[in-house]
Structure 1
């Protein structure tokens, strides 16, 4: 998910806490833990500062998003609260653990994928059933916020109900995505799913031999072909990998790629992010620059 959504998740977790008998420093401790732990796995963005070999895609949502690291992040915020606020409350550890778990697990449902079981498995797990920015989540949390302002005493109840509706949305959307995915399983060599911003709408990216097709599909309307792409077969990518290390990272990271080998360019791109004639994950070199 995007950083705004993760922040909203943290605030929603804080909203579920009954703060009636909490003093000011306890409230601060709970807020810092809920929001901070909801964001901490994305600390991997700092790898851009030293990444000169183009490995950011492998770093991002990698080890920092591992399910095995969640208790360590929770412990970090527990210690931060002792240091900053002199608050020792085991519930802060549990809240932090839950916040990090929600961050890591929610990211599994995006097309980008997550190294959920690193370092024991380097496989990127992606279900592709929830968009990175899901406006349904925002709407649910927005309603909970408005209701909580009208009746502050019932705020924890409203936020707990918001989490119930978030879970229902996740289940319904993912169930539909799984149903659609299964319809393509026997007809193509490789399949990937990418949820659209419109609820219950998916892009299904398929590959058979060197042909990549992108469909728009829902359980109510059936498939509609959006794009037909041709991959450049057995193209030698050694020169590309040598001059653009990012290309090798993308090749290893993506479920499958489209190879480009024309008069002007040698490259590859991830078709899951193909929109309006191009993919924003496209690594290439100009043939005029090849030495």
Structure 2
């Protein structure tokens, strides 16, 4: 998996690009939604196998989960902007599995669970897989993860945000 920092940064960027009103609630929900799928690591403590549909990188990393989660939150919190909330939250939640499918480790992502349990990676797998557990993160491995995410997530997100800011200031960005 990518770290919570990488997942959060993609959700932050997604929210800022799509939501021109910069709703703080939506921003926080997007960041939380991008991190949420990794709650499935609790499956290890419950004795659920990694490749089980409810195992790590299973249902909570699927497209169906992203749809259900984003629609639920949009209806609970979206008020008059349900569609914007749903789009930002869907993309933020889905981005978790997309980033994990670009990591150097694990057993793939179950994008199509519950319809089929196959696990997938993308051909590009340059993001260093993050260790599971806080104590392992504060190690050379964790430093390598952060450097990898800076290169493959942080810099692209920064470029997107700078470009968007320039476009908004010049008036060429659709509001």
- Length-normalised TM-score, structure 1: 0.42
Shift of 1:143: 5.6
3-state SS of the aligned residue for 2:35?
A: helix
**Cα displacement string for residues 95-119 of structure 1 (whole angstroms, at most 9, x for unaligned residues):** 1112122222222222321111112
- Contact kept, 8 Å, 1:114 with 1:125, in 2: the verdict is yes
Count of equivalent residues: 141
Q: Which has the larger radius of gyration?
A: 1
Aligned partners of 1:155, 1:80: CA distance in 2, in Å? 32
1:88 aligned partner: 80
> 1:108-135: per-residue Cα shift (whole Å, max 9, x none)?
2223211111122222212362223433
Alignment of 1:64-83 (within 5 A): 64-82=60-78
Q: How far apart in 2 are the matches of 1:141 and 1:2? A: 15
Cα 1:135/1:28, change in 2 over 3 Å:
closer
Aligned to 2:120: 125
Which residue of the partner structure matches residue 226 of structure 1? none
Deviations 1:26-63 (A, max 9, x none): x12321232122222222133344x1x36256411111
Structure 2 matches for 1:167-246, cutoff 5 A?
none
Gap change, CA 1:68 and 1:31, over 3 Å in 2? same
- Alpha carbons 1:41, 1:65 under 8 Å: kept: yes
Return the alpha-carbon distance in structure 2 between the equivalents of residues 155 and 62 of structure 1. 38
Q: Does the residue aligned with 1:7 lie in a helix, a strand or coil?
A: helix
Structural RMSD (CA) = 2.9
Q: Which residue of 1 aligns with 2:20?
A: 18
Higher mean displacement: 135-144 or 99-108 = 135-144
Cα distance in structure 1, aligned partners of 2:24 and 2:58: 30
How far apart, in 1, do the equivalents of 2:168 and 2:96 lie?
20
Rounded to whole Å, the distance in 1 between the matches of 2:35 and 2:88 is 13
SS of match in other structure, 1:78? helix
Q: Which has the higher helix share?
A: 2
Q: How far apart are the structure 2 equivalents of 1:38 and 1:114?
A: 15
Distance 1:156 1:43, change over 3 A: farther
In structure 1, distance between residues paired with 2:43 and 2:62: 16
In the alignment, which residue of structure 1 is the partner of 2:99? 106
User: Cα distance, 1:144 vs. partner?
Assistant: 5.8
Matches within 5 A, 1:257-268: none
Question: Which gives a bigger RCO, structure 1 or 2 (Cα 8 Å, sep 6+)?
Answer: 2
In structure 2, runs of 5+ residues without a counterpart are 130-144, 170-175
| Corresponding residue number in structure 1 for 2:49 | 55
Give the 3 Å change call, closer, same or farther, for CA 47–66 of structure 1 in structure 2. Answer: same
1:28 aligns with: 24
